Amino acid sequence: MATITRYPFLRHLRAAPTAHVVQASGGVVRRSAAGLSFWFRPLSAVLSEVPVDDRELPLVAHARTADLQQVTAQVTVSYRFADPELAARRLDFGIDPATGRWTATPLEQVARLLGELAAGHVMDALAPMSLAEAVSAPTGALGVQVGTALRHDERGAATGLEVLGARVSAVRADADLERALQTPAREAAQSEADRSTYERRALAVERERAIAENELATRIELATREQHLVAQEGANARARADEAAAAALIETRATAEQRGVLAAADADAVRIRGEADGAAERARLAAFAEIPTDVLRVLALRELASHLPDIGQLTVTPDVLTGALAGLTGHRE
């Protein structure tokens, strides 16, 4: 909106760089440019202000598909005023010389015009399609088609408009119909999710089975190794027992042989001693054979006396003494 400063009998207008101001007086255009700043007389000046910046207009267009179903398209149209003077002549962009505000609603007129044009082109674009095709059609391609049709529309160019492009954000059907159309996709998605779940479970079961088989194989391998170890330990124990038995047998045989040798030596020694003792005894007896009997008796008494216990007191009576002497002399009464 232009800024107007009021003075007595005069006004000063200062427009923004994106506002094209047209000043006419007496039916003749005096000034026409963007971003003007000038003095004017309010009683004779006719002012119009046309925005020349890029603008966007969101709108909703209703259409009918080939299968007679109603759809709604959300469209955003980008446009600008390429010919501001033409737009000022075709639409009421006049501003109040006192306040600088529009005296009418030109942008609403532009919105109605573009809305009607865009709705018509959306209907033309969706009419050959079925409901499913219209809902699932790429919105980018549909927006390009609608924007191209708007740029080539003569009614827009006749009012000084230039359509820069159009975007279609969504094409929606009735809620019930949309849910019905979404059902196959949802079912397919659910089926895919179930299939993925089953595959994941099957993979998990397969992995668990592989793990169980690996564990079983490991246990079998360990049991086999343990069996081999037990057999080896048994063989080692038997070998140690055999070696110990052989060593004990050798030791026993050596001990027996040693004892046999010692026994034979002892027997020989005993035999030799016996023979020696026998020879000595024979020699002694042979010596005693030549000694008189009385002498032998005396020697025997002496030998006997040497083996008698000690006698503390001995009482010798005449009878005893007489008998002893008689025995010694060999005379008896």
| Structure confidence by residue, pLDDT tens digits, 202-232 | 989 999 999 999 999 999 999 999 999 999 9
Q: Which of 78, 80, 72, 74 is nearest to 59 (CA)?
A: 74
For residue 331, pLDDT over 60 is answered with: no
| Structure confidence by residue, pLDDT tens digits, 71-102 | 999 999 999 999 999 999 999 999 998 888 99
The pLDDT of 3-16, averaged and rounded, is: 91
Q: Which CATH number fits domain 3-173: 3.30.479.30, 2.60.120.10, 3.50.50.60, 3.10.180.10?
A: 3.30.479.30
| Structure confidence by residue, pLDDT tens digits, 117-175 | 999 999 999 999 988 888 888 889 999 999 999 999 999 889 999 999 999 999 988 87
Upper half-sphere CA count for residue 6 (Cβ side, 13 Å): 8
For residue 332, pLDDT over 60 is answered with: no
For residue 309, pLDDT over 70 is answered with: no
* pLDDT given for residue 27 in this prediction: 83
* pLDDT given for residue 281 in this prediction: 73
| Structure confidence by residue, pLDDT tens digits, 261-307 | 888 888 888 888 888 887 877 777 676 666 677 766 777 777 666 66
pTM: 0.55
In the chain, what percentage of residues exceed pLDDT 70? Answer: 88
Q: Distance between CA atoms of 4 and 13, rounded to whole angstroms?
A: 4
Q: Which of 166, 177, 150, 148 is nearest to 72 (CA)?
A: 177
* pLDDT given for residue 181 in this prediction: 74
Residue 315: C-alpha distances to residues 40, 183, 287, 321, 325 (Å): 198, 155, 37, 10, 16
* pLDDT given for residue 147 in this prediction: 92
For residue 179, pLDDT over 90 is answered with: no
| Structure confidence by residue, pLDDT tens digits, 230-264 | 999 989 998 888 888 888 888 888 888 888 888 88
| Structure confidence by residue, pLDDT tens digits, 14-72 | 999 999 999 998 889 999 999 999 999 988 899 999 999 999 999 999 999 898 888 99
Q: Distance between CA atoms of 77 and 105, rounded to whole angstroms?
A: 19
Task: Report the chain's mean pLDDT, rounded to a whole number.
Answer: 86
Q: Distance between CA atoms of 232 and 253, rounded to whole angstroms?
A: 31
Output DSSP code: residue 317: -
* pLDDT given for residue 119 in this prediction: 93
Q: Which of 49, 26, 27 is nearest to 96 (CA)?
A: 49
